[in-house]
Structure 1
Amino acid sequence: MSRQPEVLVAGEALIDIVQRPGAEPVELPGGSCANVALALGRLGWEPRLATALGDDERGDRLRDWLAASDVTVDAVVPPSGRTSTAAAVLDATGAARYEFDLSWELPQIDDQRYDAVHVGSIASVLPPGADAVRDLVRRTRRHALVSFDPNARPAITTDAGAARARVEELVSLADVVKVSDEDLGWYFPGVDPADAAAVWGGLGPAVVVVTRGGSGATVVRAGGQRFDVPGVAAVVADTIAAGDTFTAGLLDALLSAGIHGADAYARITALDDDQLVRVVHNAHAAAAITVSRPGADPPTRDELGTP
């Protein structure tokens, strides 16, 4: 019997301070990379999250939240000494706008053991930890499936050009890139998202998947071929963790197909379009469940079913 692949997520965990119209603020555990790890844990992959957490009440809450979904946490105390926060202001449609109070470092990692690695969001661009994330990806791409979601945060990276240069190095090192049309609009103002994704597709990844909210997703393959995958209908409570759950759904489908390790790039490029459609549909189905309920609450394996 083959062993389950070892999965690492490296990036931020924080507390979302959610402000809904007409209501008092509510604190909820979250953070893009923590959400990805949580979703993978609920789907049965038992990932490890390398992150930064304060030795405080908020940090304890995040540790308990992640452990309840079979996520092992390796955390270093951040330079600020406290657990990071993100103020999420929701509009009438449930869409979130964020303001951050955070700092970021990456703990020491025995990265040779992992078969799949996901990085992204704040942790990939915010110093001093961003350099460590880049170096982690440089090392692990030789022996692991590498996934990347830039998840642009203009509130903390005001220099779009500098952020894009750092992000594009990670794009060039990744096997799978997931990015929203809004993120691409920030990195490529005035450019059609599919065309922008094709630019990134030419940098090295096997596939770039562009999410377009309820309108579905566009897949851009190495070589420039592209096609659209319809979304899954959902009644939206809010969009918190929707994109992160989508990322976890992509990884879930690939891992379930045995795609991980040193030959991940070759095996992804060998998938035909119909197989990639099924991978993306799994991601849509997972995200549709998450947006149907408040906060970062991704589905379990029983709720999602087998990819």
Structure 2
Amino acid sequence: MIVSCGEALIDFMPIEHEGAPAYRPFPGGSPFNVAIGLGRLGAPTGFLSRISTDFFGDLLLRTLHENGVDTRYVKRAADPSMLAFVSHRPEGEPQYAFFANGAADRCITEHDLPATLGDDVACLHLGLGAISTLAEPAASTFETLLKRESKRRVLALDPNVRPNLIKDRDAARARLESWVSLCDIVKVSCADFDWLYPDRSFEDSAVAWRNLGPKLVVMTLGADGAMALLDGAKVAVPGRKIGVVDTVGAGDSFHSALLAGLSERGLLTLDGMNKLDVGVLKILLDQAVAAAAITCSRAGANPPTKRELEDSL
């Protein structure tokens, strides 16, 4: 099982209603989206977080169950759900306004973590996003989990940097690098690298992160596809031409498809990662790009099913 850890929130997406601007709520949050994406692709998946008992939290939990996500590692709490309002720009990444102070997932502590994880948990995925690298107590809680589980099972990380939530770039960068050193798979966008390391190319940044210890570093390049570093090899695949509705959740769908593909081939174990080769990686990257493209073609973080992905290839 692949257990995704981190935030579960409500994305309010802009729509037009009766000729006036309005917002429609969608369940979301980067790690939540990854868990949903894995479930739709038929991969055994679970979610680890703290979810509110308010009606937004009920919607989040119901969505997990409807998509086949195991919730044994979810704690319910009276704290409110995190809310995020999304604003689309004519070009570039969407902008977010987060309302997160005192939110259930942001207030997760070590006491909320399971004492042990089941033997069926092959991989832990940690998505940051709105909790950011400096939002406490969540950041320290998940750092404890990473340190505890490192070398026990495959660890996957998606920084999903939100610059408007980070006040100290140097501190965030240092903390992220310490987390990267604990992980086996890191998926990062070129936009993340551009903000973290504005004075060097994203390829140089990827090499630097690969040298920290991960077996695999994967970069999403938007319309240009994706690139990955595996041992000493570089693998690249092109993007897909589509009609873009919005890009919310595209990176999460990409990561879901990548992890699901590794799992399906029996490679999502510490030993299995050593057997991953360039040929298989290229196939998996192409599938991940296709999954992201499908998500971009419709509103909200709405990842594809396994059938939809297979039909697109």
Q: Same fold by TM-score, threshold 0.5 exceeded?
A: yes
Amino acid at match of 1:202: N
**Structure 1 residue 77, shift from structure 2 partner:** 4.7
**CA distance in structure 2 between the partners assigned to 1:124 and 1:261 by the alignment:** 27
Other structure's SS at 1:88 match? strand
**Counterpart pick for 1:155 among 164, 170, 174:** 164
1:76 equivalent to 2:75? Answer yes
CA contact 1:89–1:97 (8 Å) conserved in 2: yes
> 5+ residue gaps in structure 2?
none
CA contact (8 A) 1:242 1:290 kept: yes
1:1-307 correspondence runs (5 A): 6-20=1-15, 23-73=21-71, 74-77=73-76, 81-92=79-90, 95-102=93-100, 103=103, 104=106, 105=108, 107-109=112-114, 110-113=116-119, 114-122=121-129, 123=131, 125=133, 126-223=135-232, 225-268=233-276, 271=277, 273-305=278-310
Distance in 2, matches of 1:209 and 1:112, equals: 28
Map Cα deviations across residues 3-49 of structure 1 (whole Å, 9 max, x no partner): xxx22111100001123586211111100000000000101123111
Moved more, 29-38 or 212-221: 212-221
Contact 2:235/2:282 (<8 A) preserved? no
Relative to its length, the structure with more strand (as a share) is 2
- Of all paired residues, the percent bearing the same amino acid is 35
Equivalent position amino acid for 2:268 in 1: H
User: What root-mean-square deviation, in Å, do the aligned CA atoms of Structure 1 and Structure 2 show?
Assistant: 2.0
- Report the CA distance between 1:94 and its aligned residue: 8.4
Task: Indicate conservation of the 8 Å contact 1:87/1:99, yes or no.
Answer: yes
CA offsets 1:67-101 (integer angstroms, 9 cap, x no match): 111112333356x8101111111124584201111
Query: Normalising by the residue count of structure 1, what TM-score does the alignment of the two structures yield?
Result: 0.90
* Alignment size in residue pairs: 297
CA contact (8 A) 1:39 1:245 kept: yes
Instruction: Give the conservation status (yes or no) of the 8 Å contact 1:36–1:245.
Output: yes
For 2:240 and 2:179, locate their aligned partners in 1 and report how far apart those are by CA, in whole Å: 29
CA displacement, residues 140-185 of structure 1 (integer Å, 9 cap, x when unaligned): 2323221110010112222111111111112111111110000001
Q: 2:23, 2:257 → 1: CA distance?
A: 29
Q: What's the TM-score, normalizing by structure 2?
A: 0.89
